[in-house]
Amino acid sequence: MTPTTISQPSSRPYYELATTEVVQQFDSDFKIGLSSEQVRRNQQQYGLNELTVKPNKPAWLRFLLQFNQALLYILIVAGIIKAFLGSWTNAAVIWGVTVINAIIGYVQESKAEGAIAALAKAVTTEATVIRNGQKQRIPSQELVPGDVVLLASGDKVPADLRLITVRNLQIDESALTGESVPVEKLAEPLRPDTPLAERQNMAYAGSFVTFGQGSGIVVATANETEVGKISRSLDQQTDLSTPLTRKFAKFSHTLLYIILALAALTLAVGVGQGQSLAGMFEAAVALAVSAIPEGLPAVVTVTLAIGVNRMARRHAIVRKLPAVETLGSATVICSDKTGTLTENQMTVQTICAGNQIYPVSGTGYSPDGRIAGSTGAAVSLHKAQALQECLTAGLACNDSHLEEENDRWTVIGDPTEGALIAAANKAGLSLTQISQSLPRIDSIPFESQFQYMATLHEAATERVIYVKGSVEAILKRCEQTIDHHPLDRRRIEQQVETMAQEGLRVLAFAKKIVSKSKSSIDHHDIDSGLVFLGLQGMIDPPRSEAIAAVHSCQSAGIQVKMITGDHVTTAKAIAQRIGLQNAGHAAAIGGQQLERMDDRELAQVIEDSVVFARVAPAQKLRLVEALQSKGEIVAMTGDGVNDAPALRKADIGVAMGGAGTDVAREAADMLLTDDNFASIEAAVEEGRTVYQNLKKAIAFILPVNGGESMTILISALFARALPILSLQVLWLNMVNSIAMTVPLAFEPKAERVMQHPPRNPREPLLSRPLIYRILAISIFNWILIFGMFEWVRQTTGNLPLARTMAIQALVAGRIVYLLSISQLGKTLIAKLRGKQSISFGDTRAILYGIAGAVVLQVIFSQWSVMNALFETAPLNLNQWLICLLPALPMIPVALLANRIDPFD
């Protein structure tokens, strides 16, 4: 059943309406819910509560699309004409090359997009509803607008709800909004301009209830939920091409026009000179085949695949091969704060108690760390009563606990309470001790309207109430400090302001001694008479390795921007700690400011700002588009449902492999197995190395095509015998080129790879220096082929022998050229110059490639089967030595080319 759009009778959003208005709009009831008849009608109108999935292209169509390449058109047509003329062997070889390229392209294509299916999984669960006045448990797919849903701790929210009642309700919406801590919910109407992350009276599909209870009325299901809207944007978003694929496409089309023009010119001139049509067509086909770098797609694929393997060893798994090169060309990295730049674990970093400031070391929920005194040494609780009481309050007034699994501490419950437990553990206090020495008798759970939690405990000779909460809620109920001095509210508020400016989330703690007969507590028991114990300030701290990685990216000319759902103050503080600055400060923009900007205004401020806080999903997408409109190559990181559209839109989407949602992982091009920004920096380094090696491969392959094309063109125009035939060209361009070019993919990274700025995204695939290099080597190859062919032909009159020796001389020159651009050749020259510190590194692949090429060329000329197929002739020892001599002049030519376009 296909869902239809839910019409909202009022133009006002649901979070702005009172609960009674929302219930009336859906003709529902707080206590009775919907009737069976209403459910049936609503299901017919709105459909099932499941997301529609866009079908993937069938496998056969994806394979056929691999032939949709400009250069392959020429080969396919050439094969057809060859077959028409009766040259079936030539046609079969040419078609074989096109099929091989198509298979390689099909294999490299990423698995079918599963982002929409993963989104459907995100809202598939069971729900507790009230229908016909009875509580029922139903599959979430059967929910309809107007249903009254009951929520409890641990539940996944099954649809978008307007909350009706709440009791201590807290919901983790990090996957949707990016907010790093659970959101405290309420039922009162909100202002019309309330951003998504602050709509406290709404519960969104796919989020989790972490604490408390509540109920709500379903206002959106399936594709009309916030998650569903994201799914539609993913469905409509087409895959962007990468810088590499765009450049290859432009290069291919340009080369296509040049080849067609030259082939037509060759055919026309030859026929006009009175030569046979069949002979001139052979020349035209040979010219076309020689100009097409058939081996280049295969070499590119192998090079990218090797980059993928290297990245995997550095905790980055690439799902789409072109993403390897894209990341290396990134000019901007937009990163979510939670988990990537930070530990994703709240940590107490400062405690203020008894007029003393105590720094707390260590990160996360691990007990490793200490609380330092004024001298810097670990403080003794016996000498710091206020500190001990403050920590005890954090343990006693707490409903969470910590667990250790595989050497990693996690919190079961609220992250804020987990941070309080970890801080106390660092001072030697534990939950077990407190539960034994101060057993709990009663408690007042945290409620957003009161902003505090209180617990009543049994002490040795009395009973004590511990309270924790917001500074405002606690201070107004306190009268004195633990050392019996009057409370200095101004000094405490100044300290709170200082901590807040550092991005710390501050909680205040207090206690009250009550009579031994007290067995329960209520709000009036703590309205006054509390003793102030202190403050604890916590934050999700930045990873130390992320700080170094950000600095490395900035040194490499890559901008790093933080896009998060957290508050502006917190985000700015994290940015300053990490080093995300522009002109000496972390310029920040909030979600509400972004909402008021049009695209032109956003494009003006996007470059200068480094922090974007309280950002909604649609705004993340806008930010990526604004950066791309400025010509930036954007890498976007994320882990939540809210990040999926931006991950898909970015030039490369990077999802968290551990903490990330299925939606984010399926929408991304790359996954981080350790959820660490440092792995992004490592992947950028590998991506740059991949591009450097691709550039070497292009510089190695294209000069052969240039030399072959020039040889055939000049020979055809001057009515001379072709020095090289079309099938021989295919052998050189596919077999020999791949054997010697693939080892370049294994080249180690350059020492200064992360000291260069990102290359200009508008830089063409063939830069001017690279074109000069290709022309220089092409001319030398033409002289070598043509010279060897003419000399042998004139001295022996044997055309197959002349062609074979010309090809072998060309391969010998290629070996010298390969050494000149590889790390092996540079290392050999450095060693000869006495630089003993230079290491050969992993250069064995080049030696294997050269050895393989030599073996293949021996087979090419000495095996009778190859002689018959490729029209070659066997060589004796003297002829082999003669083929090697013309390669020696390649040494100075290659050195000159390296000066024109160095690979550093």
Compute the distance between CA of residue 45 and CA of residue 723 in angstroms, rounded to an integer.
75
Determine contact, residues 832/794, Cβ cutoff 8 Å: no
Determine contact, residues 463/441, Cβ cutoff 8 Å: yes
Determine contact, residues 706/292, Cβ cutoff 8 Å: no
Determine contact, residues 386/379, Cβ cutoff 8 Å: no
Compute the distance between CA of residue 882 and CA of residue 884 in angstroms, rounded to an integer.
5
Distances (CA, A) of 476 to 332, 508, 522: 47, 11, 17
The closest alpha carbon to 418, from 379, 464, 367, 361, belongs to 367
Amino acid identity, residue 723? P
- The residues that bridge with 134 in the sheet, in sequence order, are 131
Determine contact, residues 553/341, Cβ cutoff 8 Å: no
Catalytic, 525? Answer no
Compute the distance between CA of residue 478 and CA of residue 526 in angstroms, rounded to an integer.
9
Determine contact, residues 156/207, Cβ cutoff 8 Å: yes
Amino acid identity, residue 753? V
| R_g of the chain computed on alpha carbons | 35
Angle (CA) 839-840-843 rounded to 5° is 150
Burial class (CB in 10 A: 0-12, 13-18, 19+), 896: middle
Instruction: Report DSSP letters for 497-545, one per residue.
Output: HHHHHTTPEEEEEEEEEE-TT-----GGGGSS-EEEEEEEEEE-PBPHH
The backbone region for 5, taken as left when phi is positive above 0, alpha when psi lies in -120 to 50, beta otherwise, is: beta
Which DSSP state fits 484? S
Determine contact, residues 528/559, Cβ cutoff 8 Å: no
Catalytic residue chosen out of the listed positions 147, 155, 160, 336: 336
Which two tokens mark 134? 């009875």
Determine contact, residues 195/616, Cβ cutoff 8 Å: yes
Three-class DSSP category at 68: coil
Compute the distance between CA of residue 874 and CA of residue 808 in angstroms, rounded to an integer.
11
Amino acid identity, residue 779? I
Element (H, E) at 741: helix 737-741
Determine contact, residues 481/390, Cβ cutoff 8 Å: no
Determine contact, residues 65/72, Cβ cutoff 8 Å: no
Amino acid identity, residue 351? I
Determine contact, residues 385/482, Cβ cutoff 8 Å: yes
Instruction: Report DSSP letters for 698-732, one per residue.
Output: HHHHHHHHHHHHHHHHHHHHTT---SS-HHHHHII
Which DSSP state fits 744? G
Which DSSP state fits 681? H
Compute the distance between CA of residue 79 and CA of residue 75 in angstroms, rounded to an integer.
6
Q: Active-site residues: which are they?
A: 336
